[in-house]
A and B are shown apart, each in its own frame.
Chain A
Amino acid sequence: MSVSSDIDFSPADVLIIGAGASGATAAWNLAETKMRIVCLEQGGWTNPSNYPTTGRDWESRAQSDFSINPNRRQQPGDYPVNDDDSPIKIANFNGVGGGTVLYAGHYPRFHPSDFKVKSLDGVADDWPIDYGDLEPFYAENDRITGVSGLAGDPAYPAKQSLMPPLPMGKSGQKLAEGFNQLGWHWWPSDSAIATQPYNGRDQCINLGACIYGCAQGAKASTDITYWPEAVRAGVELRTWCRVKEINVGDDGLASGVTYFDEDGVEQFQPAHVVIMACNGVGTPRILLNSVSEQFPDGLANSSGLVGKNLMLHPYASIQGVFEEPLDGYRGPHDSIWSQEFYETGEERDFIRGFTYETTRGRGLVATALTGVHSGRIPWGAGHHDAYRKLHNRIAGMVAICEDLPEEHNSVTLDPSIKDAHGIPAPKMTYSISDNSQKMLDFAVARATETLRAAGATDVIIESPLASGGWHLMGTARMGKDPQKSVVNEWGRSHDVKNLFIVDGSIFVTSAGVNPTRTIQTLALYITDQIKKRLTHLFD
């Protein structure tokens, strides 16, 4: 019997493409309307008992079937991404939960200033919405997700914390000492990690490999937060369904989507409303692949901006080597952050700023590879002594630099590479701007000072962090002007009135923080707008 014989192909009221961070959030928020909601996801559910930390070979699996890079992972849900023309390589996860299955759970909010960069600093564009518009949705998303942290961070307007912060550990404390010596800001990170039992989820037990999946279920990936509730409320989540294109009718509205089902059979699912939630690479890919007579340049692309303005957040990794043993790989990646250099500083040679997020140590294999590749651990007889100088003695930070939108940084369709279903693969073309490079250099210099102040005897630098293409933003930006943006201020396509986008593509600017809390908050905001406007949604 074919898979499709059980499927209801009558029109869905709402069809969501992608079951990751934003798709899950949108599905959950719309579920209470009792509309017929269908979500198509190209990957499957992951089973936490299969996550790498359940085995001794966890560090090996982090380089193979749980690699953060889909080109290396090559699992059935994955599609290739040509990142040859980018110094920063793609990182994602394709399956229920999307990138949150692998994310570290760093969960900062944007700052009020992040929505006003044009007014404040004369660069890029202001968002058509502001912090105040999103504040209630931040709070609601925090409640479903379960956020740990400490209220009172002087780098932010007041916000509550639902659970106590993650432990600083020896490494966090070391770095805090460094920040204090320099008189700089630091604070326990807001984290999407439960430090107490929360909504049926267990608390963190410091497995230390959050970016390869949390076997304990303490990390709030949306497969264990929003999805179970949305499915209980009646949302139909169809896995192993890869969308090829969005179809349009003679009226210029989306009529549904064409996708390949689990058996590789092409299907058409009609829908009254289509919501895209495939992330900053997957969404422009499908829009650009949805070519018709009415939309010869791809769907929703009258501005020509679909796929343009890709922002990735260049990262620098700055790690200190200390004389005394610290935490090693024990403990979640999240610990403390510093936003000392977050807002634009007139005395600096770059605009905007960045966040430092401290990192704990590394696993035994990662320590060895760091040492060998950086020339600190030799082959041969000296190996063991050199290894022991690094073992449990590395701690440091990453700097997340605000990336400004530039049209030449883009996602296009690769002319020759295709996925397993013959759909053209996306190609990332990206270079680090002069502003970002200056910011990276500044961040490396100041972090080195911090590490030295904290007592580091050696500093290991990787800038930019080549593996860190995990924040995918800006490729279908939001705005009031249809000539300068792809969706309006509540996420609806300017060109196709029943097409919405809720993922990181709609970001106008990237801020200097991890994006997922804001992505999910926007998904709540946009779906709230949909609910409020149901009677006149297509006006």
Chain B
Amino acid sequence: MSNTIATDSLFSADERDALKILVGMIIPASAVHNVPGADDELIFADILDSAKANEAQIRKCVEHAVSSGLGDGLPLEQVLPELEGHPVMAPLVSLVMQCYYRDDRVMVSLEVEPRAPFPKGFEVPQGDWSMLDAVQKRGKIWRDV
């Protein structure tokens, strides 16, 4: 019997389990910063959903992780160096960062308002234009022709 769950999930139950361990390994929860890990239910659901646009590459990452010992009961510290920085993992790393850093709780912990930039926009200070005096004092620097 196929172990594919009858939902619109792209991944088999085993693949999802491995993926969940993997993303939690990339960004674990932190009590100090009061933030969830990337394996948090909401964030993981976003990761699964967003993986649809890039299914083949994400599956490759999971396969690579499993072939490196993930899920074999090896301690994560032993598996991590095999995977971190490996070029095959780049699409998954990108996906995890995209989903993690748009989570409300994560944004709030970074003191960023959890909202789209538009339409409210942001304030940016003018800066001190008197700093240009020094530049003006030097005079013309363009070349005559």
> Which residues of A come within 8 Å of B, CB atoms?
51, 53-60, 63-64, 111-113, 115-116, 119-120, 130-131, 150, 152, 154-157, 167-170, 172-173, 176-177, 179-180, 183, 185-188, 205-209, 215-216, 327-331, 339-340, 342-343, 363-365, 367-369, 372-373, 375, 378-381, 383-384, 388, 391
Contacts and interface: CB of A to CB of B under 8 A. Distances in A.
Contacts of B53: 64
A208 B35 CA distance: 25
A364 B142 contact: no
Contacts of A58: 116-117
A207 B121 contact: yes
Given A168-B127, A173-B128, A56 B97 contact: no
A384 B33 contact: yes
A383 B138 contact: no
Contacts of A208: 117, 122
Interface in B50-105: 50, 53, 80, 83-85, 90, 93-94, 97-98, 100-102
B141 A206 contact: no
8 contacts: A56-B114, A59-B102, A112-B144, A183-B134, A206-B123, A331-B124, A340-B141, A379-B84
Given A54-B116, A154-B136, A365-B97, A383 B127 contact: no
Contacts of B125: 167-170, 173
9 closest Cβ contacts across the A-B interface? A205-B121, A168-B127, A330-B122, A364-B101, A368-B97, A173-B127, A331-B124, A215-B118, A207-B117
A216 B124 contact: no
A111 B143 contact: yes
Given A154-B135, A169-B124, A380 B117 contact: no
A126 to B, nearest CB: 10
Contact of B25 (A112, A152, A380, A391): A380
A111 B107 contact: no
Contacts of A215: 118-119
A60 B50 contact: yes
Contacts of A157: 142
Nearest to B30: A384
Interface in B29-45: 30, 32-33, 35
B118 A176 contact: no
A156 B142 contact: yes
B110 interface: yes
Interface of B: 25-28, 30, 32-33, 35, 50, 53, 80, 83-85, 90, 93-94, 97-98, 100-102, 106-107, 110, 112, 114-129, 131-132, 134-136, 138-145
Contacts of A59: 98, 101-102
A391 B122 contact: no
A319 B76 CA distance: 33
Contacts of A173: 125, 127-128, 131
A197 B66 CA distance: 56
B139 A54 contact: no
A112 B101 contact: no
Contacts of B123: 206, 330
B48 to A, nearest CB: 14
A364 B121 contact: no
B143 A56 contact: no
B94 A63 contact: yes
B143 A167 contact: no
A327 B118 contact: no
A130 B127 contact: no
Contact of B85 (A111, A187, A330, A375): A375
B101 A368 contact: yes
A363 B90 CA distance: 18
A55 B124 contact: no
A357 B54 CA distance: 34
A207 B122 contact: yes
Contact of B98 (A167, A188, A328, A365): A365
Contact of A343 (B50, B90, B135, B143): B143
A63 B97 CA distance: 12
Given A206-B124, A369-B94, A391-B110, 9 more contacts: A58-B117, A157-B142, A167-B125, A169-B125, A173-B127, A180-B134, A188-B129, A365-B98, A379-B84
A154 B141 contact: yes
A56 B124 contact: no
Contacts of A368: 97, 100-101
Given A60-B50, A206-B121, A177 B131 contact: yes
Nearest to A370: B97
A152 B136 contact: yes
A369 B93 contact: yes
